[in-house]
Amino acid sequence: MFSFNRCTQTLRIWESNYGRDAGWNIEQHGAVIATLSDPQPGDMFWDHYRIDIVTDDERLRAEMGTDEFWLNAESAGLVFRNRVFGEVAKNAFPSHPPFDTDGRIHMRALYLDIRPPMPWDWLLLYFRRRTADKTGEPSDARESPS
């Protein structure tokens, strides 16, 4: 069955580069320990993110600065959750070593896994972009909440 809200969310995910531009929370055991923002494309299939550690746990903050912590990200129970859509990137993982010289973290598969746009979806995206260009706000920002 067609859901207008689901259709709108899918359009917004595509517009945000599959969630990359919306930012990410890194969670451990349900608590947010860091945020990722400002994605920059890197080598093929890799993106570089600015990382802001937000946990108050000093021991964890120190561990997060080590390569070993990120090498064991999956066993440490890290979850990468999109900050806007609340969905989890199930296959995301950091590189080894994880950080570049600027302190940005390299991530792979950090995106929301949805189908690619079909030709008619590109038309909707085009008209949404044109509407946003004329009004200065995204087209779904004017829609009434349901």
Taking each helix axis from N to C end, the angle separating 119-135 and 4-15, rounded to the nearest 10 degrees, works out to 80
pLDDT in tens, 65-120: 999 999 999 888 999 999 999 999 999 999 999 999 899 999 999 999 988 878 78
pLDDT computed for residue 137 by the predictor: 62
- C-beta of residue 64 within 8 angstroms of C-beta of residue 33: yes
Q: Quote the domain boundaries for residue 35.
A: 19-108
Q: Bridge-partner residues for 137, per DSSP?
A: none
Banded pLDDT at 131 (limits 50, 70, 90) = confident
Asked if residue 96 belongs to a domain, the reply is yes
For residue 109, CA distances in Å to 48, 60, 74, 137 come to 12, 24, 14, 29
pLDDT computed for residue 61 by the predictor: 96
Banded pLDDT at 142 (limits 50, 70, 90) = very low
Amino acid code (one letter) for 98: P
Tracing tokens 């990382």 back to the chain, one arrives at 51
Asked if residue 129 belongs to a domain, the reply is no
The number of distinct structural domains making up the chain is 1
Asked if residue 81 belongs to a domain, the reply is yes
pLDDT in tens, 27-76: 999 999 999 999 999 888 999 999 999 999 999 999 999 999 999 998 88
Asked if residue 145 belongs to a domain, the reply is no
pLDDT computed for residue 110 by the predictor: 97
Asked if residue 25 belongs to a domain, the reply is yes
CA–CA gap between residue 63 and residue 113 (Å, rounded): 29
The answer, yes or no, to whether residue 145 has pLDDT greater than 70, is no
Q: What HEC string does the chain produce?
A: CCCHHHHHHHHHHHHCCCCHHHCEEEEECCEEEEEEEEEEECCCCEEEEEEEECCCCHHHHHHHCCHHHHHCCCCCCEEEEECCCCCECCCCEEEEEEECCCCCEEEECCCCCCCCCCHHHHHHHHHHHHHHHHHCCCHHHHCCCC
The answer, yes or no, to whether residue 141 has pLDDT greater than 70, is no
